[in-house]
Chains A and B, each alone.
Chain A
Amino acid sequence: MAPTRDELHWMYRYMVISRRFEETIAEAYFEGKTPVFNMANGTIPGEMHLSDGQEPVAVGVCAHLKPTDVVTATHRPHHQAIAKGVDLDKMAAEIFGKKTGLSGGRGGHMHLFDANANFACSGIIAQGMGPAVGAALSRKMQGKDGVAVAFLGEGAVNQGAWHEAMNMAAVWKLPFVCVIEDNAWGISVPKDAATAIANNADRAAAYGIPGHRIEGNDPYKIYEVAGEAIARARAGEGPTLIEVETYRLAGHFMGDAEAYRPEGEKDALFAKDPIPAMRARMLEDGSASEAELDRIEAEAAERVAAAIKFARESEEPAPEDALTAVFA
Chain B
Amino acid sequence: MNKPNERKLTIARAMAEATAQEMRIDPGVFVMGEDVGQLGGIYGNTRGLIEEFGSERIRDTPISETAFIGAAVGAAQDGMRPIAELMFVDFFGVCFDAIYNLMAKNIYFSGGNFKVPMVLMTSTGGGYSDGGQHSQCLYGSFAHLPGMKVVQPSNAYDAKGLMTAAIRDDSPVVYMFHKSLQGMGWLGTEKAATVHVPEEQYVVEIGKAKIAREGKDVTIVGLGMGVHNALKAADRLAEQGVSAEVVDLVSLVPLDRETIRASVAKTGRLIVVDEDYMSYGVTGEIIASVTEHNISALKAAPKRIAYPDVPIPFARGMEQFCLPNPEKIVAAWGEMAA
Asked if B44 is an interface residue, CB under 8 A from chain A, the answer is no
Q: Do A38 and B317 contact each other (CB < 8 Å), given the known contacts A111-B131, A124-B90?
A: no
Contact of A47 among B90, B130, B310 (CB under 8 A): B130
Q: Which residues in A have some Cβ–Cβ distance to B below 8 Å?
A: 36-41, 45-47, 94, 97-98, 101, 104-111, 122-127, 155-156, 158-161, 186-189, 193-195, 255, 259-260, 316-323, 326
Question: Which of B183-191, B236-244, B296-304 makes up part of the contact surface?
Answer: B183-191
Beyond known contacts A110-B133, A124-B133: 12 more, CB 8 A cutoff: A104-B315, A105-B318, A160-B66, A187-B35, A187-B42, A188-B35, A188-B60, A194-B60, A194-B61, A260-B38, A260-B39, A326-B310
B48 to chain A, nearest CB (A): 14
Interface digits, B35-65 against A, CB 8 Å rule (1 contact, 0 not)? Answer: 1011100100000000000000000111111
Cross-chain contact A189 with B127 (CB below 8 angstroms): no
Q: How large is the interface on B (under 10, 10 to 19, 20 to 34, 35 or more residues)?
A: 35 or more
With a cutoff of 8 Å between Cβ atoms, the chain B residues found around residue A37 in the complex are: 185-186
Cross-chain contact B62 with A97 (CB below 8 angstroms): no
Q: Do A155 and B63 contact each other (CB < 8 Å), given the known contacts A39-B128, A47-B130, A187-B34?
A: yes
Cross-chain contact A110 with B131 (CB below 8 angstroms): yes
Closest to A320 in B: B321
Cross-chain contact A111 with B314 (CB below 8 angstroms): yes
Cross-chain contact A97 with B187 (CB below 8 angstroms): no
With a cutoff of 8 Å between Cβ atoms, the chain B residues found around residue A161 in the complex are: 94
B204 to chain A, nearest CB (A): 29
Asked if B259 is an interface residue, CB under 8 A from chain A, the answer is no
B21 to chain A, nearest CB (A): 25
Closest to B90 in A: A124
Q: Which residues in B have some Cβ–Cβ distance to A below 8 Å?
A: 34-35, 37-39, 42, 60-67, 90-91, 93-94, 127-134, 185-188, 308-311, 313-322
Q: Do A105 and B186 contact each other (CB < 8 Å), given the known contacts A47-B134, A110-B133, A124-B94?
A: no
Most chain B Cβ neighbours within 10 Å, of A104, A107, A255: A107
Most chain A Cβ neighbours within 10 Å, of B131, B309, B316, B318: B318
A39 to B319, CA, bound (A): 14
Closest to A256 in B: B39
State the 4 A-B residue pairs at the shortest beta-carbon distance, nearest first.
A108-B314, A105-B315, A319-B321, A97-B315
Cross-chain contact A322 with B185 (CB below 8 angstroms): no
A194 to B132, CA, bound (A): 27
A127 to B90, CA, bound (A): 13
A-B contacts, 9 listed (Cβ < 8 Å): A40-B188, A46-B314, A97-B316, A105-B318, A159-B63, A159-B64, A194-B61, A319-B320, A322-B318
Q: Do A39 and B317 contact each other (CB < 8 Å), given the known contacts A122-B133, A186-B34, A187-B39?
A: no
With a cutoff of 8 Å between Cβ atoms, the chain B residues found around residue A155 in the complex are: 62-63
